Amino acid sequence: MAYPAPDFESKICSPEQLTARVAHLARPSAFTNGCFDIVHRGHVTYLAQAAALGASLVVALNSDASVRRQGKGNERPVNTLDDRLAVIAALGCVSLVTWFDEDTPLQRIIECRPDILVKGGDWPVDRIVGAREVIGWGGTLHSIPFIHRKSTTALLEKIRSL
């Protein structure tokens, strides 16, 4: 018996299709980005909070090469971009997921033109990429404090120590 592809795969969007796909999302739209390598409670809590700020949520993931350039270690990312896209797309709070190969998501932010730009509380507002652009077109910026202090790096260190 052939089974249909999971419906969440329709939420995965190439950068080339992004502008057209975002045009069909409910407004106001929120945007966030990250590696989301080994998804944990901190990630899903943060993404649910980001989604609650708008009527739709776009998430842009660092490509594998972009993750490696962040200096997180040669073994990172643990999960490939395709796997990370699928996991994030499967979350009910996410409307659309795409990726970027650059060091920052600025080009995806400009293409999405979100009403709300969201980052985790570990990012000082003055260092949030795209803040100037989003505020410039009348959008808002949110830095969400962490409720659950979790990190993929700490999780990997724990696994290695066992």
Three-point CA angle 59, 21, 143, nearest 5°: 25
- Report the predicted TM-score, pTM, of the whole model to 2 decimal places: 0.90
Residue 149 pLDDT grade (very low, low, confident, very high; cuts 50, 70, 90): low
Residue 15 sits in a domain of what CATH number?
3.40.50.620
In a domain, 1, yes or no: no
pLDDT of residue 113: 98
pLDDT attached to residue 156:
66
**Is the pLDDT score of 152 beyond 80?**
no
Per residue in 66-103, pLDDT tens?
Answer: 999 988 777 889 999 999 999 999 999 999 999 999 99
How does pLDDT run across 107-136, given as a tens digit for each residue?
A: 999 999 999 999 987 777 888 999 999 999
Q: How many structural domains compose the chain?
A: 1
User: How many residues can be counted in the chain?
Assistant: 162
- Cβ density class 15-53: b for 16+ within 10 Å, e for less: eeebeebbeebeeebbbbbbbbbbbeebbbebbebbbeb
Q: Does residue 145 have a cis bond before it (omega within 30 degrees)?
A: no
The span from the CA of 125 to the CA of 117, in Å, is 11
What average pLDDT is seen over the chain?
Answer: 91
Q: Is residue 116 part of a domain?
A: yes
pLDDT greater than 80 at residue 147: no
* Residue 123 belongs to some domain of the structure: yes
What is the extent of the structural domain holding 126? Answer: 7-161
- Specify the range with the lowest mean pLDDT, choosing from 15-19, 129-133, 141-145: 141-145
Tell whether 69 is covered by a domain. yes
The answer to whether position 2 is within a domain reads: no
